[in-house]
Amino acid sequence: MSVKPEDFFKNIISHCKEYGFIFQSSEIYDGLSAVYDYGQNGAELKKNIREYWWKAMVQMHENIVGIDAAIFMHPTTWKASGHVDAFNDPLIDNKDSKKRYRADVLIEEHVAKIEDKIEKEVEKAKKRFENFDEGMFRSTNARVLEYQNKITEINSRFKTALNDGNLAEVKQIIIDCEIVCPISGSRNWTDVRQFNLMFATQLGSVSEESNTIYLRPETAQGIFVNYLNVQKTGRMKIPFGIAQTGKAFRNEIVARQFIFRMREFEQMEMQFFVKPGTEMHWYEYWKTARLKWHNSFGLGNENYKFHDHIKLAHYANAACDIEFKFPFGFKELEGIHSRTDFDLKQHEQFSGKKLQYFDNEENKSYVPYVVETSVGLDRLFLATLSAAYKEEALENGETRVVLNLPPALAPIKAAVFPLVKKDGLPELAEEIINELKYDYIVTYDEKDTVGKRYRRQDAIGTPYCITVDHQSLTDKMVTIRHRDTMQQDRIAIAEVKEFLNERVSLTSLLKKN
């Protein structure tokens, strides 16, 4: 069915609320901006995605272990990591609409619009010419060349401005590109200012300045400060990784697009400690491994692409994002960064403690280099749910809303229905549930017609519905209905568990990696 992209995204947001996936935080008090709660189905889906990540990282790699560090950390951590001085976003206000924007995002979106124009030219030409040679067209067409030059010029000015910390130049780029505020339509901009994204709070008694601590803006530092604890107690040999999932907090200037950009969110990060000089090998290795992991969700490989950073963070010597095609376009889903020995060296310097590794083969000590993979759990949830959400027109003229979630990640793995609420059918359905519930989340439903019950399960992505009818009492068989194809099969009750084991356990997903 063709729905406009903006309506499609709105439909997904209302679906999340209607079916218990995501609620606005403190909704009865009109909500809190960019903070969300996960409902009964959302919490399950989120937990399953987290578990899949954890198993793929920790359980499937002998040389990766997981930790769970505290959210509060010694304040010096954030001086050492550079966050106190440099974890800033450049912000700019429109004087007419009084709306605040991230200056870098305004420029990036402007560049994305020019890229769209190029794509349109290419598409037009494809239709016009037979034997169309895209490479040739891109390198010779005057209009495309003009657009490409424009992009190169903007990117290079922007990169220099950011590297020099030249905020006046960032504003000048916005003016020169004639970027307007989407609300007021005007170009009446304030100067660009830096804004630190960390939330500060007080530990213990108030008012003493030395008690100021921060809510962690990333989980990575909890791994770095524990590097030696884990390496020594786990007798880890390089290369090895430390993984962690947990909450992170950022006072985002522009928090829009639902759970894409939140002020409280969850990260799943893995720091891989390697011998200096081998980091580029591992950087490429993790790029490939992580893309493969994302592809295993089966949401369409064409929905992912790499995007190299044009400005590297202060700690990185190579960095890219895995972008996903969200309903509002390709955006960052995961970051892969070669962080050098920056973090460990900084912590050595600020703590006065050695954070080195003794390499038996080389017979020397060194500070390891680090390759990081960092993915936002909430963004991954949004990617999964939005790609799985389908509004299908059925032959009978009805519309069916279905979530084609990977079965192993679905909140509920199977629903068991008695055809009618009597004649011993509910009891048999309960028996089946009692058999399955030790391994899987299963649900019971006896209300309304079976057709309506199917629709309710489709809407939350339950892969299988099991119906018990009168014949089941004698032949000990049930009807299993498949969510995606709506096909129905009759199978023995004794085989139901095996049927699910083969289709809805995480093992099947893990084997795709």
DSSP code at position 260: G
Q: Return the residues of window 351-380 that contact ligand ATP according to CB under 6 A.
A: 374-376, 378-379
Is residue 283 involved in binding ligand ATP (CB under 6 A)? Answer: no
Calpha distance 435→502 (Å, rounded): 16
Q: Distance from CA of residue 23 to its chain's centroid?
A: 18
Is residue 250 involved in binding ligand ATP (CB under 6 A)? Answer: yes
For ligand ATP, give the closer residue by CB, 171 or 250: 250
CB of 150 to ligand ATP, least distance (A): 23
Q: Among residues 44, 93, 279, 334, which is the contact residue for ligand ATP, using CB under 6 A? A: 334
Residue 333 makes CB contacts below 8 A (sequence gap 6+) with 294, 304, 321, 322, 323, 324, 375, 376, 379, 380, 383
- Three-class DSSP labels, 396-455: CCCEEEEECCCHHHCCCCEEEEECCCCCCHHHHHHHHHHHHCCCCCEEECCCCCHHHHHH
Give 434-442 contacts, CB < 8 A, sequence gap 24+: 435/496, 435/497, 436/496, 436/497, 436/500, 439/497, 439/500, 439/501, 440/413, 440/414, 440/500, 440/504, 441/44, 441/411, 441/412, 441/413, 442/412, 442/413, 442/414, 442/415, 442/416
Nearest to 294 by CA among 463, 52, 46: 52
* Count of residues engaged in binding ligand ATP, rule: CB under 6 A: 16
Calpha distance 375→245 (Å, rounded): 10
Is residue 246 involved in binding ligand ATP (CB under 6 A)? Answer: no
Residue 393 makes CB contacts below 8 A (sequence gap 6+) with 1, 399
Stretch that binds ligand ATP, among 36-44, 259-267, 290-298, 340-348 (CB under 6 A): 259-267
Is residue 262 involved in binding ligand ATP (CB under 6 A)? Answer: yes
Compute CA distances 373 → 202, 267, 268, 336, whole Å.
31, 10, 8, 5
For ligand ATP, give the closer residue by CB, 268 or 425: 268
CB of 237 to ligand ATP, least distance (A): 28
Is residue 37 involved in binding ligand ATP (CB under 6 A)? Answer: no
Is residue 108 involved in binding ligand ATP (CB under 6 A)? Answer: no
CB of 209 to ligand ATP, least distance (A): 27
Stretch that binds ligand ATP, among 16-24, 119-127, 258-266, 459-467 (CB under 6 A): 258-266
Q: Return the residues of window 177-216 that contact ligand ATP according to CB under 6 A.
A: none
Q: Among residues 335, 368, 406, 418, which is the contact residue for ligand ATP, using CB under 6 A? A: 335
Is residue 252 involved in binding ligand ATP (CB under 6 A)? Answer: yes
Q: Among residues 110, 261, 290, 294, which is the contact residue for ligand ATP, using CB under 6 A? A: 261
DSSP code at position 261: S
CB of 449 to ligand ATP, least distance (A): 40
Is residue 267 involved in binding ligand ATP (CB under 6 A)? Answer: yes
Spatial contact of 71 and 226, defined as CB atoms under 8 Å apart: no
For ligand ATP, give the closer residue by CB, 265 or 273: 265
Stretch that binds ligand ATP, among 1-9, 127-135, 260-268, 388-396 (CB under 6 A): 260-268
Stretch that binds ligand ATP, among 60-68, 172-180, 262-270, 347-355 (CB under 6 A): 262-270
Calpha distance 215→248 (Å, rounded): 7
Spatial contact of 445 and 337, defined as CB atoms under 8 Å apart: no
Is residue 115 involved in binding ligand ATP (CB under 6 A)? Answer: no
Under DSSP, is residue 140 helix (H, G, I), strand (E, B) or coil? helix
Q: Return the residues of window 209-228 that contact ligand ATP according to CB under 6 A.
A: 218
Q: Among residues 53, 189, 265, 357, which is the contact residue for ligand ATP, using CB under 6 A? A: 265
Give the binding site for ligand ATP (CB under 6 A).
218, 250, 252, 261-262, 265, 267, 332-335, 374-376, 378-379
